[in-house]
Amino acid sequence: MLRTVLLIVIGLLVAACDRANQNPAEENDSAEAASPKPVAYYEYLWCKEGENNNDETVAAFVADWNKALDGLEQTLSGAFAYIPRGWESEDFDGLWVLRWPDKDTMQRGWSNYAESGTDQSLAEAHPGVLTCGNEAGVNRFGFDLYAPIEVPDGFANESPYFLQNQFCTFNEGKVPEDLTEVIREDFLPVIRAGKEQGIYSSYWFMVGVPDGFEPAQPMDFNWIDFWNTADEGPTETAFFEGSKDGQAVMERFNEVMTCSERQPWDGYVLRNAEAT
């Protein structure tokens, strides 16, 4: 249900905010290639569908949420929805993803939001539609996000786009600098060479470091891959892992980190603050 609703919501927001001329993946608009500094601060909110959840009620909920934010200081630089693709979680039906320029801005934004009474107003106007977490470390999780590669032009011009993530830990004796070295010296050259050959055309990635909470499962960082479509993701992943260069890079990565199985998601743009 939430997947269908979000398709409707995206159409409404595009018409209202003229996002067709914006890059929905401006999740990385301030990134410098191979920069060791975070490009943004992300929060992932667990969301549950209520008993009154349907296409029309959720579309109205999201529209009113955007209207409320339009009247506040523009601290939020983007919002997205990630919906599990082909799997389910007992903790959530989907994630509401908030992109902030940095943690300080996040704290100011939440303070402004709380003072506005928007949560209460939405709950009263749209009872039993959608509930998203707001308790840090319990159902709302913050990450410093790093993006060592540019977002491809035209990424996610159509929804949904596709992403997959892995929770990773450093192997014994390894540190973030080791990962940075492999990314810069091994991974990025292979990806960029592939792009020149027409491979990995819509691919980019981010690395998220948890902030302010103790992960429920072992995790030093969250590795997130993005593509335009769900067909590109598995196909290009298989190509990379089956190629000689890809296998060599994977050996280097495996020396540095150990990661969980990949989780696939459909991604949708809920808000682009710069376009409203």
CATH of the domain at 157: 3.30.70.100
Q: Three-state DSSP class for 238?
A: helix
pLDDT for residue 103? 96
> Do 12 and 134 reside in the same domain of the chain?
yes
175 vs 216 pLDDT, higher one = 175
Candidates 90, 63, 94, 101; CA nearest to 80 is 94
pTM of the model: 0.86
Do 6 and 118 reside in the same domain of the chain?
A: yes
Q: How confident is the model at residue 81 (pLDDT cuts 50, 70, 90)?
A: very high
Q: For a pLDDT cut of 70, what percent of the chain falls above it?
A: 86
- Output 165 or 36, whichever has higher pLDDT: 165
- Within this chain, do residues 136 and 271 fall inside the same structural domain, yes or no? yes
DSSP-assigned letters across all residues of 201-217? TT-EEEEEEEESS--SS
Statement to judge: residues 78 and 128 lie in one domain:
yes
pLDDT tens digits for range 217-237: 889 999 999 999 999 999 999
Amino acid occupying residue 115: E
Q: Is the dihedral of CA 73, 79, 50, 211 positive or negative?
A: negative
What tokens appear for 225 in the block?
């891959």
Clarify whether residues 115 and 239 are in a common domain.
no
What residues are paired with 1 via a beta bridge?
none
Please report the sign of the dihedral spanned by the C-alpha atoms of residue 48, residue 15, residue 152, residue 228. positive
CA distances to 126, 130, 149, 165 from 51, in Å = 11, 9, 41, 30
Confidence category of residue 36, pLDDT binned at 50, 70, 90:
low
- Which residue type occupies 62? V
Q: How many domains does the chain have?
A: 2
Tokens 């929060």 belong to 43
Which domain range does residue 49 map to? 2-17+25-143+266-275
pLDDT at 92: 97
Number of residues written out for the chain: 276
Average pLDDT for the chain: 87
Rounded Cα distance, 154 and 146, in Å: 21
Q: What is the pLDDT of residues 236-263, one digit of tens each?
A: 999 999 999 999 999 999 999 999 999 9
Q: Based on the domain organization, do 217 and 185 belong to the same domain? A: yes
Average of per-residue pLDDT across 64-93: 95
Residues 32 and 118 in one domain: yes
Q: Are residues 154 and 111 in the same domain?
A: no
For residue 90, the Cα-to-chain-centroid distance in whole angstroms is: 20
Give the pLDDT score at 17.
38
Reported as a pLDDT band with limits 50, 70 and 90, residue 273 is low
- Under a CB-based contact definition with an 8 Å cutoff, are residues 148 and 204 in contact? no
Provide Rg for the chain, Cα atoms. 19
pLDDT of residue 59: 87
Q: What is the mean pLDDT of residues 3-29?
A: 42
Is 38's pLDDT higher than 60? yes
Mean pLDDT across the stretch 157-182? 95
Tell whether 153 and 97 lie within a shared domain.
Answer: no
Quick check: 19 pLDDT over 60? no
**Same domain, yes or no, for 162 and 62?**
no
Residue that has been written with the tokens 């997959």 in this structure: 164
Residue 194 has pLDDT above 70, yes or no: yes
State whether 124 and 260 are in the same domain. Answer: no
- The answer to whether the beta carbons of residues 154 and 204 sit under 8 Å apart is no
Does the pLDDT of residue 147 top 70, yes or no?
A: yes
Label residue 29 by pLDDT band (50, 70, 90). Answer: very low
Q: Where are the beta strands (DSSP E) in the chain?
A: 40-49, 78-84, 94-100, 130-132, 140-146, 161-170, 204-211, 221-227, 257-259, 263-271
Whether residue 53 is found in the same domain as residue 174: no
